[in-house]
Amino acid sequence: MTSTIRCDIVSAEEEIFHGAAQLIVATGEMGELGIAPRHAPLITRLKPGQVRVILENGDEQFFYVSGGILEVQPQVVTVLADTAIRAKDLDEAAANKAKDAAERALANRTDALEIAQAQVELAQAMAQLQALERLRKALKH
C-alpha cells in the first residue's frame, strides 16, 4: 500500500479539490515543487501555473491557479488559490481606483455635516419608524 497525503485546494469563492494524493506538483516562487507524504513543513507563494495532483490510484488531475499560497504539513497539503490574476501594480491600480471613488464621492458632498447633525437625522428616521409602528398597532385595535 502506498502512503498518501491529504490535499485541499480551495479558492475564496469555491472549494476546488480535496482528497488523498501520492504526490502534488506545484510551481512555487523559487521553482517547481514536488510534495510527497511526510514532507517537511513548508510555506511558499505560488506562481501562476498548474497544480498537478497524482491520486491514490495513479490518476492525475490538473488545476490551474493564478497564484496563491502552498502550505505543507507532514500529513496535509493546503493550496489557497487566488481567484484573480494578481500583481503588485494591478493591486496598486485597484487601490487608486478605490481612493478616486471616495474622492469623487466627497467632492459631491453639498455640506460638511457634523456627526451630531447626522445623528439627529438618524434619530428622526428612527422616530418616524417607531411612530409608524405605533400607528400600525393602534389601527389593529
Partner 1 sequence: MAGGREIKTKIKSVQNTRKVTRALEMVSASKIRKAQDLMKASRPYARLMRQVIGHIAKANTEYQHPFMVARTQIKRVGYIVVSTDRGLCGGLNSNLFRRVINEIREHIDNGVQVDLVAIGSKANAFFKRFKVNLVGTATHLGEKPQLNALIGVIKVMLDAYTDGRIDQLNLAYNDFVNTMTQKPTVDTLLPLPPSNGLSTTHEWDYIYEPSPDVVLDHVLTRYIESLVYQATLENLASEHAARMVAMKSASDNASKAIETLSLIYNKARQAAITQEISEIVGGAAAV
CB 65 within 8 A of CB 73: no
120 binds partner 1 (CB under 8 A): no
Closest CA to 42 of 21, 67, 73: 73
Binding region for partner 1 (CB under 8 A) out of 19-27, 49-57, 58-66, 89-97 = 89-97
Among 42, 120, 127, 131, binds partner 1 (CB under 8 A): 42
Rule CB under 8 A: say whether 89 interacts with partner 1: no
Instruction: Kindly tell me which residue out of 2, 19, 64, 95 binds partner 1, with binding defined by CB under 8 A.
Output: 95
Q: Does residue 92 belong to the site contacting partner 1 (CB under 8 A)?
A: yes
Q: Residues interacting with partner 1, by CB under 8 A?
A: 8, 10-15, 18, 28-30, 40-45, 68-69, 71, 73, 78, 80, 82-84, 86, 91-99, 101-102, 105-106, 108-109, 111-115, 118-119, 122, 125-126, 129, 136, 139
